[in-house]
Chain A
Amino acid sequence: MPLNIRTYHDLSEPDRSGLLDQVLEQRRRVAARMESVGRVVAVMSGKGGVGKSFVTARLARALQRSGRPAGVLDADLNGPTAARLLETPSTPLAIRGDAVIPATGVEGVRVLSMAHLLDDGRPLAFHGPEADRFVWRGAMEAAALREFLADVAWGSLDRLLVDLPPGLGRFEELADLLPAPPAVLTVTIPTPESADAVRRALRAAVERGATALGVVENMVGGQFRGSAGESLAAEFGIPLLARVPFDPPDALWSALAGHV
């Protein structure tokens, strides 16, 4: 005899677990923490090795210099570099009440990176079943990103820059966690190969509802040939905000800060 079972939502008796409520509470914690942040800007490219972290760090410093408090959330959990780029001290992170106090880097930029938490030279590894780690590792990393947003006393910031790893996954997680998709600053190098990878990432971000602030073309004037920055900017109808040579001057970062 077939079962005549009600749906999940038909069962309305009080549920002590309240798993959905717990998840919603996590979202509320993220939203509450972000209330004191003027704008979250995801620095992304979809391609590795284009200098996202370098651009993020220098941009954060320029914002800070211009009197606009900036934070950097290093979302590259497996290859964290923000702590070194922003020269944060190696002292333990303070926990006060319900939050971790972010490290303070050069020029006062607030920073939270997995590098602050890991043993030197060791990869990010999680406790858990040995076999088939791929089944749950992504979920663990998403949880880490959520806690970096919700459980860190970012304080009042004009901009929180999120340094994303290559690829699209972390952007999707970030967009899901925040009350609204973050603004996106796209970094490329001049080559057409870079343009191909960045195009896909940028399109995905725009389709997800993110505001594309513009393109930064990095490593200009060296051995990389092409005009990826211009072509991407034209294709998406967004500005090419900066063409960054090797050894760029501070003035370039200050000008870029004015656009984010």
Chain B
Amino acid sequence: MKFLCVECDKQMAFEERALPGDGTLAASFRCPQCGRVVAMLTNPYETQLVASLGVKIGGRTISEQPLETVRGAVATGRADAFDEGAGDAGRAAGAFPSWSPEAQERLARVPGFVRGMVKRIYAEYARDRGIAEITPDLMDTARSELGLEGM
């Protein structure tokens, strides 16, 4: 899928991704010549289809997690299906980045089946940007930016 600015005959460049709610995935694209911006909105079915492909509109900014689609999408998973390993868990919950009490509370509400992966993704997101503390606001930003539908 590509977007063309018909007036300029230029391919539009991906700019930003967002999850505004109701299962909608929004992605904006800008014409590099005239600066016109368009947004593509998917309905919940299309959002789901994109998720099932395991691809990220706008490209991947963090590494793919093992069984990422399964863990993000299965609704009937066992809370204790995975052992993330002391090293990974320790790194996610350890000194850098730290988790604010509110972020920890929010993380605790994530189903156990996917919690370990979510923890790793947010920690990696914060580390890559040199952010010392994970807060709910940061989780919202990361979720939107990384296209973590349903997390």
- Asked whether A147 is an interface residue with its Cβ less than 8 Å from the other chain, the reply is yes
- Asked whether A18 is an interface residue with its Cβ less than 8 Å from the other chain, the reply is yes
**If the complex has contacts A116-B81, A123-B76, A127-B150, are A23 and B68 also in contact, measured as CB distance less than 8 A?**
no
- Asked whether B137 is an interface residue with its Cβ less than 8 Å from the other chain, the reply is no
Q: Kindly report which residue of chain B lies nearest to residue A130, judged by CB atoms.
A: B44
Inter-chain contact A93/B83, CB cutoff 8 Å: yes
Q: How far is the CB of A103 from chain B (nearest CB, A)?
A: 11
Inter-chain CA distance A205–B60, complex, in Å, is 35
Inter-chain CA distance A94–B66, complex, in Å, is 11
Inter-chain contact B44/A117, CB cutoff 8 Å: no
- Asked whether A135 is an interface residue with its Cβ less than 8 Å from the other chain, the reply is yes
Q: Which of B48-56, B97-105, B127-135 contacts A (4 or more CB under 8 A)?
A: B48-56
Inter-chain contact A17/B83, CB cutoff 8 Å: no
Inter-chain CA distance A13–B13, complex, in Å, is 9
Inter-chain CA distance A13–B9, complex, in Å, is 12
Q: Which residues of A contact B116 (CB under 8 A)?
A: 95
Q: Which residues of B contact A148 (CB under 8 A)?
A: 67
Inter-chain CA distance A5–B73, complex, in Å, is 37
Inter-chain contact B68/A147, CB cutoff 8 Å: yes
Q: How far is the CB of A7 from chain B (nearest CB, A)?
A: 10
- Asked whether B20 is an interface residue with its Cβ less than 8 Å from the other chain, the reply is no
Q: Which residues of A contact B73 (CB under 8 A)?
A: 126-128, 140, 143
Inter-chain contact B80/A6, CB cutoff 8 Å: no
- Asked whether A100 is an interface residue with its Cβ less than 8 Å from the other chain, the reply is yes
Inter-chain contact B52/A136, CB cutoff 8 Å: yes
Specify which of B72, B82, B84 lies most central, judged by the most chain A CB atoms within 10 Å of its CB. B82
| Chain A window 45-66, contacts with chain B (Cβ cutoff 8 Å), 1 for yes, 0 for no | 0000000000000000000000
Inter-chain contact B6/A5, CB cutoff 8 Å: yes
Inter-chain contact A98/B48, CB cutoff 8 Å: no
Inter-chain contact A95/B52, CB cutoff 8 Å: no
Q: How far is the CB of B86 from chain A (nearest CB, A)?
A: 11
Q: How far is the CB of B124 from chain A (nearest CB, A)?
A: 12
Inter-chain contact B76/A122, CB cutoff 8 Å: yes
- Asked whether A119 is an interface residue with its Cβ less than 8 Å from the other chain, the reply is yes
Q: How far is the CB of B34 from chain A (nearest CB, A)?
A: 15
Inter-chain contact B59/A92, CB cutoff 8 Å: no
Q: Which residues of B contact A207 (CB under 8 A)?
A: none
Q: With contacts A100-B66, A136-B48, A151-B66 known, what are 17 further pairs, Cβ within 8 A?
A: A6-B9, A13-B11, A19-B53, A22-B55, A94-B85, A95-B66, A100-B82, A118-B74, A127-B73, A127-B150, A128-B150, A136-B52, A140-B52, A144-B69, A147-B66, A148-B67, A152-B66
State the B residues within 8 Å of A (CB). 1-2, 4, 6, 9-11, 13-14, 23, 32, 44-45, 48-49, 52-60, 63-64, 66-70, 72-78, 80-85, 88, 113, 116, 150
The 9 closest A-B pairs by CB, nearest first: A139-B52, A129-B44, A92-B83, A151-B66, A122-B76, A22-B55, A13-B11, A136-B48, A143-B69
- Could you pull out 24 A-B pairs where Cβ atoms are within 8 angstroms? A6-B4, A13-B11, A13-B32, A19-B1, A19-B53, A23-B55, A93-B83, A94-B85, A117-B81, A117-B113, A120-B78, A125-B74, A126-B75, A128-B44, A128-B150, A136-B52, A140-B48, A140-B69, A142-B52, A143-B52, A144-B70, A147-B66, A147-B67, A151-B67
